[in-house]
Amino acid sequence: MRVLHVNVEQAVATVDGETKQRRVMTFSCIHCNTVLGLQMDERTKPRPKRATPSA
C-alpha cells in the first residue's frame, strides 16, 4: 500500500551503536502526524545545523 499524503522531513538522529549522528529522512502522516518510517540518508553527509554562509 502506498501512502500518498506523507510529510517528508530531514532530521538528524543518533543511531544505536554509533557515536556520530546521521541524517535521516522521516516520513509522517500529514493528517495525524504519525511517523510512518525513517530512512537513512546515506548519500548526504551530516551538516551542522547552523551553517555559516559561505558567501
Binding site for Zn ion (CB under 5 A): 29, 31-32
State the nearest-atom distance from the C-beta of 1 to Zn ion, in Å.
13
Shortest spacing between CB 45 and Zn ion, in angstroms: 32
Nearer to Zn ion, 21 or 34 (CB): 34
Give the torsion through C-alpha atoms of 16, 22, 25, 30, to 10 deg. Answer: 70
Specify the residue, 20 or 31, whose C-beta has the smaller distance to Zn ion.
31
The residue number whose beta carbon is nearest to Zn ion equals 29
